[in-house]
Amino acid sequence: MSELGQNRSARVESAPRRSDDTPGFDGATLASSTLLLDEQEGRHQAPRCAQSTDHPAGQLILNKQMKVVNMDQRERPSPHEIRRAQQDNPKIREHDLAARLGISEAELVAAHCGQGAIRVEPRVNDLLTGLEAVGEVVAHTRNESAVHEKIGVYDKVVTGNKHALVLGDDIDLRIFPKVWAHGFAVEKRNGKDVSRSLQFFDAAGKAMHKVQLGPASNLDAYQKLVAELESTNQEPIIVFKASGANDDAEVPDQAATVKDLRECWSQLTDVHQFFDMLKRLKLSRREAVRMVGEVYAWALEKDAIGAMFQQAAEDEMPIMCFVGNRGCIQIHSGPIKWVKTIGPWINVLDETFHLHLGTHHIIEVWAVRKPTKDGHVTSLEAYDADGKMIIQFFGKRREGEGEREDWRFLAETLPRIPGPTAA
């Protein structure tokens, strides 16, 4: 396990270039990741939101310049106001700035249409088939509590209207195209340096997936792909829609009994049957693991995830790490090496894999055992306060292979929560 602090000199704060100390990294991506680490350590203090009693309720003030950005939460900021806020606060990441402005991240990006952003159609199949020619890029998928980045090529693409797949050695994705509603090609200049990315959002403006170009990317292929996907609508405003239902959220009217659940669970022969089982029984994932009993699921202490990272890194154990949202699930398969915990954040900064996990959002951790035709497999699953799964881990395995014994031993020996909550 490496100490990130020993390698601070390897950072690239703006120029997208490779660092000899961190082969395979795109400098812009490394800068983004290390800036996040700096924020965790308090080195870059993002301006705080404040509500003033001297102004109408809902007023948003970004401290430092103390500039009033939005005088009334009922009135969304104009594209000009959004761009000005971003110019005045360049150190704040887009996801966080959008939240501070009371808008979606897609609205923040859309405000730059014609000024560094181009609307593109979210035609997932055309995107995936065109990305292979772009070469090495950074695939970025996040939810509110975890950010997952993989460096590689979009190859071994399987297209489809309901589901699309990328099954490459480095980039491994499960995509739900109907959820993707807005897309942008974004170009940012910092002096002579230029960063380029494709960014896709759902109808509520939440980020589903992003593709960041690096020094080894094929710029001609990228520009050709952007031209093919470019939308006729280049307005800097999008219509905001409420989020759709989340399959991981709690299902209010529980229909299944414990007996029904255990019977169906025991008949699983493939982990991919699990979601269909939940739909049939009208249960959320968290309800199911709470109900089924400790033969199949047991509650763990919240620090079990950190303990797993530490042991897996020390043993160079290949694991699978899943982070997803409504529109995309991204998977890392392989060992982890460079792990650094800063406050509540667990950070992985390996050659082709970056992860930032906010453990302060974790409310429950479960070890979950599922039967398959190759024997049972064990996952670790972390849930937030809304019952949504933040992150999931397995031992690395391929179809037809049994579970790794070292992973199974690790999962079964992590600290458990005693008592009825684990039953």
pLDDT of residue 255: 66
Rank 73-82, 247-256, 370-379 by mean pLDDT and report only the highest.
Answer: 370-379
pLDDT of residue 317: 98
Q: What is the pLDDT of residue 343?
A: 94
Q: How far apart are CA 60 and CA 50, in angstroms?
A: 7
Helix H or strand E segment including 270: none
Q: Say if residue 382's pLDDT is above 70.
A: yes
Q: 360: part of which helix (H) or strand (E)?
A: none
pLDDT of 47 higher than 90: no
Q: Residue 201 forms beta bridges with which residues?
A: 182, 207
d(CA 37, CA 73): 31
Smallest CA-to-CA distance from 369 within 309, 292, 263, 306 is with: 292
Domain segments of the chain as ranges: 49-110, 258-422
- Per DSSP, the chain holds a count of helices (H) and strands (E) of 11, 21
pLDDT of amino acid 419: 59
Average pLDDT over residues 407-416: 98
pLDDT of residue 261: 97
CA–CA dist 223, 229 (Å, integer): 10
308-329: average pLDDT: 98
Q: How many CA atoms lie within 13 A of 31 on its CB side?
A: 16
pTM: 0.82
Number of other residues whose CB lies within 10 A of the CB of residue 296: 22
Question: Is the model's pLDDT at 12 over the cut of 60?
Answer: no
The pLDDT, as a whole number, for residue 328 is 99
Q: Give 400's pLDDT tier (boundaries 50, 70, 90).
A: confident
Q: Are 379 and 274 in contact (CB under 8 A)?
A: no
- pLDDT (average), residues 43-64: 34
State the burial class of residue 422 (Cβ atoms within 10 Å of its Cβ: 0-12, 13-18, 19+).
middle
Neighbours of 92 (CB within 10 A): 19
Was domain 258-422 assigned CATH 3.40.50.970? no
> Mean of the pLDDT values across residues 130-134?
98
Mean pLDDT (the chain) is 84
